[in-house]
Homo-oligomer: A and B are copies of this chain.
Amino acid sequence: MPELRRDPIVGRWVIISTERARRPSDFVSQPGVRRSNGPCIFCPGQEARTPDEVWALRPDGGAPNGPGWRVRVAPNRFPALRIEGELERSGEGLYDRISGVGAHEVLIEAPDHDARIEQLPVSHLAEVLLAFRERMIDLARDPRLEYVMVFKSHGDQPGAPITHAHSQLIATPIVPMMVEEELAGGLQHFRIKQRCIWCDIVRQEHGGGRVVIEEQGFMALAPFAPRVPFETWVLPIGHRSSFEETPGEELLALAGLLGELLRRMAKTLGDPPYNLMLHSAPLRARALDHFHWHLEIVPTLTGLAGFEWGTGFFINPTPPEEAARYLRGDTV
């Protein structure tokens, strides 16, 4: 059984997936990136190779776990957390652990093995966002769960052997540290100012040099203090703390902006690998005045020191004003 463990000093929870324990020899060799040419486990007709689906969009009907879907969500075959079992909390002196109860799902974004989300029709990308929302709403019904992390790793990256376009959801019985930090920072600002700090950021940035795209109620922004070159945030301009309360027409507007942003990144930067993360309010905390959901898109560009993630201290050679200018396509 996997377990969640808390660092007693900074309060960071990590998943120790004990049943996937690896021996040192598993790390020694440097395997080449495997690419299958045949249909992969996420391709239509291969549905039986994943666990039974938990959500799918079949516009023309069809039975579950068969072809005909446009977006499909199934449990991860090698889940980091398990949906079965009791939520058990225990202590051991200074240390705290929680049994590894949770959900780990893959969200297959399109049937086509070579699809890329930024090249999908806007309505299809909106359906991907709809799948995020629907899974979050469904997982929120499980009282053991406190948070749903939604993320996407695009491109050649260690640990991401499947290239068929997909995102992942991990639902946890704790709120991850990076969201706790944002909640704390947002609350501190709200207590002093009686305003949401992300709303303040949107107001201050409006029309300025760090805005990449601003349209239909959303803003793509190169943040003031980006950790890495071309880090970009996407925020709704109007205040909303929980992504899962986004109505359908706003998902369509978001899909339009996100697709445009990802196309510009791919073109400007030569299709870099990137991680996309959704930061939404905890499941049990609806309608917070001091939190504002957003997407963070962090490209993994070459020539950057690996020590920066390790140390938590970032040296960024590209000012966000420059990054935004390139992504806007301004003549240089």
Contact = CB atoms under 8 A, between A and B. Distances in A.
Interface of A: 5-18, 20-24, 26-31, 80, 93-95, 149, 151, 153, 157-160, 170, 176-178, 181-182, 185-186, 189, 197-198, 200-201, 204, 223-227, 229-230, 268-270, 272-273, 275, 277, 298, 300-307, 309-320, 322, 326
A270 B304 CA distance: 24
Contact of A326 (B24, B160, B300, B319): B24
Contacts of A313: 14-15, 149, 170, 176-178
A95 B317 CA distance: 19
Contacts of A314: 12, 14-15
A199 to B, nearest CB: 11
B275 A27 contact: no
A266 B177 CA distance: 31
Given A5-B225, A27-B269, A310 B275 contact: yes
A13 B10 CA distance: 18
A8 B197 contact: yes
* Count of this chain's copies in the oligomeric assembly: 2
B305 A182 contact: no
B159 A306 contact: yes
Contacts of A8: 185, 189, 197, 201, 224-225
Nearest to A159: B305
Contacts of A5: 224-225
A94 B201 contact: yes
Given A9-B185, A12-B312, A277-B307, 10 more contacts: A8-B197, A9-B198, A24-B326, A28-B270, A94-B224, A95-B224, A160-B307, A177-B312, A277-B310, A309-B310
Given A176-B313, A178-B311, A185-B11, A269 B306 contact: no
A290 B95 CA distance: 18
Contacts of A149: 311, 313
Contacts of A23: 326
A299 to B, nearest CB: 8
Given A311-B277, A316-B16, A159 B304 contact: yes
A9 B197 contact: yes
B186 A9 contact: yes
Contacts of A93: 200, 204
A288 B20 CA distance: 40
13 contacts: A5-B225, A12-B225, A14-B314, A14-B315, A24-B326, A26-B303, A28-B270, A93-B200, A151-B310, A153-B306, A158-B304, A159-B307, A277-B311
A303 B14 contact: no
A11 B187 CA distance: 13
A302 B229 contact: no
A269 B24 contact: yes
A239 to B, nearest CB: 15
